Amino acid sequence: MTTPVFQNYIDGTWQPAHNGQTFPNHNPATGELLGHFPLSAASDVTAAVSAARAAFETWRLVPAPKRGEILYRVGELMTRHKEELARSMTREMGKVLQEARGDVQEGIDMAYYMGGEGRRLAGYTVPVELPNKTGIALRDPVGVVACITPWNFPIAIPTWKMFPALVAGNTVVLKPAEDTPLSALCLVELLYEAGLPRGVVNLVFGPGKPTGEALLQQSHVDIISFTGSTETGRHVAVEAARMLKRVSLELGGKNAVIVMDDADLDLAVEGILWSAYGTTGQRCTACSRLIVHRAVQEKLLAKLVPRMQSLRLGNGLDEDVDVGPIINAKQLAKVHNYTALGQAEGATLVTGGAVAHLAGELAGGNFYEPTLFTGVQPEMRIAQEEIFGPTLSVLTIDSLAEAIQVNNNTKYGLSSAIYTQNINAAQRATRDITTGILYINAGTTGAEIQFPFGGTRGTGNGHREAGIAGLDVFTEWKVVYTDYSGKLQKAQIEE
């Protein structure tokens, strides 16, 4: 069978990169070559931005309820194609099928939620200080949105950006991660099947350099909506600042589960396994620190470690598999380096810590054993840096105050969890934990799309995605005063 060659989607037509270059897309579980995608350069990106710019002039005038209806149809199409989207995602990036279905479901939820916003998109009106005058605040679209997305939620994250952007009347250029181009392509196909006019969403493939970089340099892009690593995000912010562009950043995490001495330990074990080893630890909300009270640490680990050791590694398409591969060989090497670093820092490797060599068709896959360190000190690099793999560091504490202090003491601030039966402890944690998301008696992952999503400190730049807050990035406030007094009235001056 010949390997398929895919194309960019610009102004309603499929087209190769102008220079004809391509890059390969591989299955991380098997090494199978899935396809070739255009390695887009600056001229391709400029064409995509020009198409989006031109389409903006008509799309912004489509009534918002009609824009919402298209999103609603996208939700229906995604529901109809959920299984094939999920399977294609698992082949492309490895997460187990159950989680891939969840990833698509997040997109479906976002389609319906933002589709509904077509009939809300609420501004507001409040009283004005002068007689015979009104004031209303409206949400206007901003223009062209550049969406740059990572590989770990290849359907969900593009929908979190594109759907609020579209319902608000903006047009889009999407550059998905080079490890997950196919999922983005399938999504964009459904958008057009749902009736999106040409040029409203444009898709360009390619790596950070040159493709993503070229998108940052476009003067006709009004907003950059970026999700990825903190390192790349900082660069995106600097480039955006140079051109005074609006930029929204969703970046890394170093999320913790706190287990107090009164916690339901069996419940905590379930939450830790799901948060730390689900998606092979490759979620921005993955738990990579376990902050546990000394009084229950031994008992907790006695329950947790055997469960970790029984997790089944393999091809995510196999329904019995718990943990899929790491996305690529570079990331596998990074995860393994952190194991060596943890040992060099003096932490104790309890289990895992090795590349897993699986047999048969999985011999070419990037697998890593679920890993756990104890004796980790808060200042160690394995307790501070995002590893983005199946590695969990255990930090021992003696009080709630210490747990909160350790939890807050990283440069990231995305998600935290606390297991306790004590309502006072839960309330104190709610008040004092400084992450954007907090779970009480549940693990660090599981955000729902109707709430704001994002984090503090190095996890972002203060914006939120999803929920009503997700619309703030993609809209500009416009205030309209209407004076029907028939005379000049002076605010702040007239009595």
List contacts with ligand NAD (CB under 6 A).
148-153, 175, 177-178, 207-209, 212-213, 216, 227-229, 232, 235-236, 250-253, 284, 386, 388, 414, 459
Q: Which is nearer to ligand NAD, 73 or 245 (CB)?
A: 245
| Partners of 134 in beta bridges | 482
Tell me the one-letter amino acid at 231: E
Would you call 69 a catalytic residue per the annotation? no
| Partners of 173 in beta bridges | 146, 202
Q: How far is the CB of 153 from ligand NAD (least distance, A)?
A: 6
Structure tokens at 471: 């619309």
Q: Which is nearer to ligand NAD, 90 or 149 (CB)?
A: 149
Q: Which is nearer to ligand NAD, 21 or 229 (CB)?
A: 229
Q: How far is the CB of 414 from ligand NAD (least distance, A)?
A: 6
Q: How far is the CB of 245 from ligand NAD (least distance, A)?
A: 13
Would you call 287 a catalytic residue per the annotation? no
Q: Which is nearer to ligand NAD, 156 or 292 (CB)?
A: 156
Distance CA 446, CA 426 (A): 19
Q: How far is the CB of 450 from ligand NAD (least distance, A)?
A: 16
Q: Which is nearer to ligand NAD, 150 or 370 (CB)?
A: 150
Tell me the one-letter amino acid at 61: L
Cβ count near 2 (within 10 Å): 4
Q: Which is nearer to ligand NAD, 156 or 323 (CB)?
A: 156
Q: Which of 92, 106, 117, 250 is catalytic?
A: 250
Q: Which of 284, 287, 369, 386 is catalytic?
A: 284
Q: How far is the CB of 210 from ligand NAD (least distance, A)?
A: 9
Q: Which is nearer to ligand NAD, 9 or 388 (CB)?
A: 388
Q: Which is nearer to ligand NAD, 200 or 224 (CB)?
A: 224
Question: Pick from 462, 33, 18: which is nearest to 248 by CA?
Answer: 462
Q: How far is the CB of 305 from ligand NAD (least distance, A)?
A: 26
Q: Which is nearer to ligand NAD, 171 or 180 (CB)?
A: 180
Q: How far is the CB of 236 from ligand NAD (least distance, A)?
A: 6
Q: How far is the CB of 146 from ligand NAD (least distance, A)?
A: 9
Q: How far is the CB of 258 from ligand NAD (least distance, A)?
A: 20
Secondary structure of the chain in HEC code, one letter for each residue: CCCCECCEEECCEEECCCCCCEEEEECCCCCCEEEEEECCCHHHHHHHHHHHHHHHHHHCCCCHHHHHHHHHHHHHHHHHCHHHHHHHHHHHHCCCHHHHHHHHHHHHHHHHHHHHHCCCCCCEECCCCCCCEEEEEEEEECCEEEEECCCCCCCHHHHHHHHHHHHCCCEEEEECCCCCHHHHHHHHHHHHHCCCCCCCEEECCCCHHHHHHHHHCCCCCCEEEEECCHHHHHHHHHHHHHCCCEEEEECCCCEEEEECCCCCHHHHHHHHHHHHHHHHHCCCCCEEEEEEEHHHHHHHHHHHHHHHHCCCECCCCCCCCCECCCCCHHHHHHHHHHHHHHHHCCCEEEECCCEECCCHHHCCCCEECCEEEECCCCCCHHHHCCCCCCEEEEEEECCHHHHHHHHHCCCEECEEEEECCCHHHHHHHHHHCCCCEEEECCCCCCCCCCCCECCEECCECCCCECCHHHHCCCEEEEEEEEECCCCCCCCCCCC
Q: Which residues are catalytic?
A: 250, 284
